[in-house]
Amino acid sequence: MSTLVSSRLLSAGLASARRVHPLRGAVFLVLLAMLSASAAMGQVEEAVVSGSVGFLYSHNDGQTSLQPILTPVILVPLGSHLLVETSAQLQGYIARSGGNGPYEGQFFGSLQYLQLDWAVNSHLTIVAGRFTTPFNIYGERLGPMWLHNLQDAPLIYPIGTRTSGSSNGGMIRGVVVSRPAWLLNYTVFFSALSQVENLGSGRAFGARAGVFLPRSRLELGTSYQRFLQEQHSNSYGAYFSWQPRSLPIDAKGEYAHSPQGHGYWIEAAYRFKDSGKGGLTLAKFQPVVRGQQFFRLAPGVSDLLPATDTQRVDFGLNYYPIPSVRLNASYGRQFTSERDSNYWTAEVTYHFLFPLAFWVKESK
Amino acid sequence: MQAKSNLVALALVAMSLCFAVSSRAGRQQTNAGAKGAAKVDEAAEGEKRFVTNCGRCHQPPSDIPPREAKAVLRQMRVRAMLSSEDERLILKYLAP
């Protein structure tokens, strides 16, 4: 789940780290079984641990918070077609109580996904378990801390990803048609209701389809989700992702619509070309800008969307001293009919990757 | 006279052997060269596919060991809907 949404949950007092649920034991057993199966198949050597560890400082609308975040990812191949992948987010949220009091911290964790992927062929992959809800592209592609260019999630992120950003159920996905000039992909999923702490999900059905044009490196897609609990409702979305060949720009954007509101965000990141002069390589810097608007259509209770019509613009700068480390700072200004506010963030992230069986040397 | 003939015959055999060995070595070099070129071509094609597919979210990694690359690519095959051919060629680029 994205940092901002997690913070919103914390602020709302909905997250608690202290209760221990028996299902955590079940998750642990599943992980143990998965590793045992991998070891039995002689493939434990191929399992890897990836992820990131980071520290985020934010000063949002007068509220300062410090957030250490650890996001491990474990990948365990089973044979040539199966893969078990899992990721959790362990996060702290340290802020002044009451705005001016002493700093107090809360720590919590959530299982983002624990899924079994069966790659039948390039047209079909069957996924079962807990997975990131595939609505538009932000949650699935840009969700990890080391991937999104700005730390705050877009305002419209909660649309189509209720209730937790993850789904428990099944999903099929793949490429329908692949031609040199274009490629059509699809994803269809069903999720069951779960109110288990840290494993929550909404009862929903959804689909996503996208067309990718490799020559122009442009992807266009659309998403649909039917929320099948409480008041049944539909959410729609559209997205684009474009990396033009002539310029080192990474442009992305999304539009999402729900009965509670609709909005969009557009982001562009520019990676300088390596000048190679004077020791300062501009290629390590990446300025980012994002603009977004949200329009409230109906009041919603704990839907995590802004309460009123909102506009926001963010400016950020990423610096990569080495490829696995990123320093980021950003400033955002938010405009609403009630008040305007400033959002500052600074973050350092280290992205790691090593074999799970680190004691086994790689065979040549 | 007999000894001279034997020497000539021996020299011819030696020359033939040298020619055969050098010819075989040449063929091996040619084969190795062709294989090397094919490997380079596959890595170049893998780089192209990396930039096209993975470059939408990732910067090219500086150094990634083969087994880590293999596992990560398996995951990306699902996430980014890569074909098995994409997976094979990108692996050639990431971990040649």
Bridge partners (DSSP) of residue A287 are A317
C-alpha closest to that of A288 among A308, A307, A262, A316? A316
Q: Which H/E stretch holds residue A13? A: none
Q: How far apart are CA A77 and CA A357, in angstroms?
A: 13
Q: Are B68 and A353 in contact (CB under 8 A)?
A: yes
Length of chain A: 364
pLDDT of residue A25: 58
Count Cβ atoms below 10 Å from residue A200 Cβ, excluding itself.
18
If one compares A209 and A276, the residue with the highest pLDDT of the two is A209
pLDDT of residue A357: 76
pLDDT of residue B61: 75
Encode pLDDT of A46-91 as tens digits.
899 999 999 999 998 888 999 999 999 999 988 888 999 999 999 9
Encode pLDDT of B21-49 as tens digits.
444 544 555 555 656 666 678 889 998 88
- Token pair 């033009």 is found at A244
Distances in whole angstroms, Cα of residue A315 to Cα of each of A16, A179, A344: 32, 38, 10
If one compares A276 and A340, the residue with the highest pLDDT of the two is A340
Q: Are A174 and A186 in contact (CB under 8 A)?
A: yes
Mark yes or no for CB contact A141/B71 under 8 Å. Answer: no
- Pick B72's closest partner by Cβ from A50, A141, A178: A50
Q: How far apart are CA A226 and CA A220, in angstroms?
A: 21
Residues 6+ away with beta carbon under 8 Å from A309: A293, A294, A295, A296, A336, A337
The mean pLDDT value of chain A amounts to 86
If one compares A41 and A314, the residue with the highest pLDDT of the two is A314
Q: Chain A: nearest CA to B13, how far in angstroms?
A: 41
Distances in whole angstroms, Cα of residue A197 to Cα of each of A3, A110, B25: 18, 8, 68
Judged by average pLDDT, the poorest of A169-173, B36-40, B60-64 is: B36-40
pLDDT of residue A231: 82
Q: Does B18 score more than 90 pLDDT?
A: no
Q: Does A17 score more than 60 pLDDT?
A: no
Residues of chain A with pLDDT > 90, as a percent, come to: 60
pLDDT of residue A259: 94
Show the tokens assigned to A236.
């729609």
If one compares B68 and A192, the residue with the highest pLDDT of the two is A192
Which range marks the domain in which residue A303 is found?
3-355
Is the peptide bond between A163 and the residue preceding it cis, with omega within 30 degrees of 0? Answer: yes
Count Cβ atoms below 10 Å from residue A108 Cβ, excluding itself.
18
Answer whether residue A248 is part of any domain: yes
Q: How far apart are CA A287 and CA A240, in angstroms?
A: 20
Compute the count of residue pairs across chains A and B with CB atoms less than 8 Å apart: 76
- Token pair 């997250």 is found at A15
If one compares A359 and A249, the residue with the highest pLDDT of the two is A249
Length of chain B: 96
Residue A243: list chain B partners with CB under 8 A: 55-56
Q: Does A19 score more than 50 pLDDT?
A: no
pLDDT of residue A20: 41
Residue B54: list chain A partners with CB under 8 A: none
**Mean pLDDT in residue range B13-28:** 49
Chain B residue closest in CA terms to A183:
B81
Residue of A48, A177, A185, A220 to mutate when probing chain B, most B C-beta within 10 A: A48
Q: How far apart are CA A194 and CA A163, in angstroms?
A: 9
Q: What are phi and psi of A277, to 5 degrees?
A: -120, 145
**Mean pLDDT in residue range A355-359:** 76
pLDDT of residue A6: 46
Looking from the CA of A47 toward its CB, the CA atoms found within 13 Å total 25
Q: Does A168 score more than 80 pLDDT?
A: yes
The structural domains of chain B, with segments of one domain joined by +, span: 2-94
Answer whether residue A192 is part of any domain: yes
Answer whether residue A114 is part of any domain: yes
If one compares A254 and A77, the residue with the highest pLDDT of the two is A254
Q: How far apart are CA A268 and CA A247, in angstroms?
A: 12
Residue A323 — pLDDT band, cuts 50, 70, 90? confident
Mark yes or no for CB contact B55/A243 under 8 Å. Answer: yes
pLDDT of residue B77: 87
If one compares A301 and A138, the residue with the highest pLDDT of the two is A138
Q: How far apart are CA A13 and CA A6, in angstroms?
A: 11
Answer whether residue A363 is part of any domain: no
**Mean pLDDT in residue range A291-308:** 91
Assign B32 to helix, strand or coil. Answer: helix
Show the tokens assigned to A21.
């649920």
The CATH number linked to A37 is 2.40.160.10
Residue A96 — pLDDT band, cuts 50, 70, 90? confident
Q: Are B82 and B76 in contact (CB under 8 A)?
A: yes
Buried b (16+ CB within 10 A) or exposed e, A65-75: bebebebebbb
pLDDT of residue A9: 42
Q: What is the ipTM of this complex?
A: 0.76
pLDDT of residue A292: 97
Q: Chain B: nearest CA to A68, how far in angstroms?
A: 23
Distances in whole angstroms, Cα of residue A264 to Cα of each of A34, A292, A293, B77: 40, 6, 6, 29
Q: Does A319 score more than 80 pLDDT?
A: yes
Residue B84: list chain A partners with CB under 8 A: 121-122
Bridge partners (DSSP) of residue B54 are none
If one compares A265 and B16, the residue with the highest pLDDT of the two is A265
As for how many domains chain A has, the answer is: 1
Q: Does A42 score more than 50 pLDDT?
A: yes
Q: How far apart are CA A144 and CA A272, in angstroms?
A: 23
pLDDT of residue B6: 62
Interfacial residues of B (vs A; Cβ cutoff 8 Å): 52, 55-59, 61-62, 64-68, 70-72, 74-75, 77-79, 81-84
Three-state DSSP string of A163-223: CCCEEEEEEEEEEEEECCCCEEEEEEEEEECECCCCCCECCEEEEEEEEEECCCCEEEEEE
Q: How far apart are CA A155 and CA A79, in angstroms?
A: 41
pLDDT of residue A276: 59
